Amino acid sequence: MFLPQEIIRTKRNGGNLSLAQIQDFVSGLVTGEFNDAQVGSMAMAIYQQGMSTDEIVNLTMAMKNSGDVLTWDELDGPVIDKHSTGGVGDKVSFMLAAIVGACGAYVPMISGRGLGHTGGTSDKLESIAGFNVQPSIELFKKTVKELRIAIISQTDNLAPADKRLYSIRDVTATVESIPLITASILSKKLSAGLDALVMDVKYGNGAMMSSMDDASALAQSIVNVANGAGVNTQAIITDMNQVLGTTAGNALEIYETVKYLTGKQREPRLHAVVLSLAKAMLINAQIATDEKDALERINNVLDSGSAAELFETMIYTLGGPIDLLDNPWGAMQKANHIVEILAPEHGYISAMQTRDIGMAIVAMKGGRLANGQPIDHSVGFDRILPVGTLLNRGDIVARVHASSESEAKLASKTYLDSLTISESEPEPTPVIYQTIS
């Protein structure tokens, strides 16, 4: 048994941790023998010094084995999942689970909370009154077996070491570490008993990885570790240099999800990311033979409404309302103050500081400034215009949803400060950058 401070010192000084040291660290996360200060120090040491591939594999497997590991022997089809490294306005998981499940795969999705400026899938689901993001493992497995999909938060028994480390990373400025991101994602995903995994690695000023080199390194790290653990894994690098879709904020993103699945609104960049990931999932799950076949299947379940119905049924099965599609705001709270944000001048939106928009939501209590802090699900932004839009002075560039006039005023200023408005039209940027297999 190694003392916590000795393990921290080894990594702080740039040494490689042995398997035994990593196992002691993970054990200490679960038992509390590593206190919060020591966990934060360890996370910072890893952030600054990095880890070898062997260390990341050992950390991933130790965190996976810190709790229950699910098996799906009773299912008659492929078990597949998707995970995003996080961004602002990233509600893709909801669409994907519904689409891929409706196409015939099983999708047991174990999601995370918000990290730093990025929103969390679990937090968004908790916008819906009654929805239980932490059902028993028995109910989770039953739901997956019967519906083909279930989206939940980490339970106390699934990768509990990661659950604690994840929450401390959020408040210690250690979110962007490639080894910690890799181990965090894969410990959860491997504990879910997957056959295949598709990663959405976000790149840009609203992502954890703000450089393409870092995004590629993270994608390669995840692919290497996951495939080494026997899970067929592919990573797709997608753009996060602007908000994804037209909304950012927990309840607002659920509302956009409903509009997307029912065909009322499909913002083009969001739709492109959903299609790219859904095609990869269906091909990797061997449900579709190629991209053309996958696209036909995707369009069929969207056009027929079966994907939307599946999402609504999952929400109801796990405690939410029975009529989310017809009456989404019947189960979600609206903000007290909704204020239009107006363009101060004529010109093109040529850039967006996406992280600042995410932090504006956090400042309105739509995210966490401290571990365990309750959040306001109603706040955020909607009617967000994309980069490249031509504005006239006084046009609505977005709306802020806030709990008070003062919060709305401050968030509006932050939003306008995040925009660059230029005379010339900006060059369009890719939505999908790279695929790593």
Q: pLDDT digits over 200-238, tens only? A: 999 999 998 899 999 999 999 999 999 888 889 999 999
Q: Catalytic pick from 64, 148, 188, 401? A: 188
Give the pLDDT confidence score for residue 115 in this predicted structure. Answer: 66
- Render pLDDT for 29-71 as a digit per residue (tens, 0 to 9): 999 999 999 999 999 999 999 999 899 999 999 999 999 999 9
Examine the residue annotation and report whether 264 is marked as an active-site residue of this protein: no
Examine the residue annotation and report whether 81 is marked as an active-site residue of this protein: yes
Q: Catalytic pick from 11, 64, 82, 117? A: 82
**Residue 316: how many CB atoms within 10 A of its CB?**
15
Give the pLDDT confidence score for residue 371 in this predicted structure. Answer: 64
Q: By C-alpha distance, which of 328, 146, 157, 358 is closest to 255?
A: 328
How distant, in Å, are the alpha carbons of 13, 51, 55, 57, 58 from that of 18?
Answer: 14, 11, 8, 12, 9
| DSSP class of 356 | H
Give the pLDDT confidence score for residue 103 in this predicted structure. Answer: 98
Examine the residue annotation and report whether 377 is marked as an active-site residue of this protein: no
Binning pLDDT at 50, 70 and 90, where does residue 120 land?
confident
Q: Catalytic pick from 184, 191, 233, 238? A: 184
Give the pLDDT confidence score for residue 368 in this predicted structure. Answer: 79
CA 53 to chain centre: 24
Outline where DSSP puts E strands in 49-91.
80-84
Q: By C-alpha distance, which of 112, 92, 82 is closest to 184?
A: 112
Distance CA 281, CA 31 (A): 37
- Render pLDDT for 283-329 as a digit per residue (tens, 0 to 9): 999 999 999 999 999 999 999 999 999 999 999 999 999 999 999 99
CA 193 to chain centre: 19
Examine the residue annotation and report whether 184 is marked as an active-site residue of this protein: yes
Binning pLDDT at 50, 70 and 90, where does residue 112 land?
confident
Q: By C-alpha distance, which of 345, 60, 368 is closest to 186?
A: 60
Domains annotated for the chain, with CATH where assigned, are: 4-50 (no CATH), 80-328 (3.40.1030.10), 334-422 (3.90.1170.30)
Q: Catalytic pick from 169, 202, 355, 365? A: 169
How distant, in Å, are the alpha carbons of 50, 62, 270, 433 from that of 22?
Answer: 14, 8, 39, 34
Distance CA 248, CA 383 (A): 9
Of 169-173, 178-182, 216-220, least confident by mean pLDDT is: 169-173
Percentage of the chain surpassing pLDDT 90?
A: 85
Q: Catalytic pick from 64, 83, 113, 368? A: 83
Of 79-93, 128-142, 171-185, 317-331, least confident by mean pLDDT is: 171-185
Examine the residue annotation and report whether 83 is marked as an active-site residue of this protein: yes
Examine the residue annotation and report whether 290 is marked as an active-site residue of this protein: no
Comparing 229 with 190, the larger pLDDT belongs to 190
Which residues, 6 or more positions from 3, have their beta carbon under 8 angstroms from its beta carbon? none
Q: Catalytic pick from 66, 121, 177, 187? A: 121
This prediction has a pTM of: 0.89
Map residue 215 onto helix, strand or coil: helix
Q: Catalytic pick from 41, 84, 174, 317? A: 84
Binning pLDDT at 50, 70 and 90, where does residue 139 land?
very high
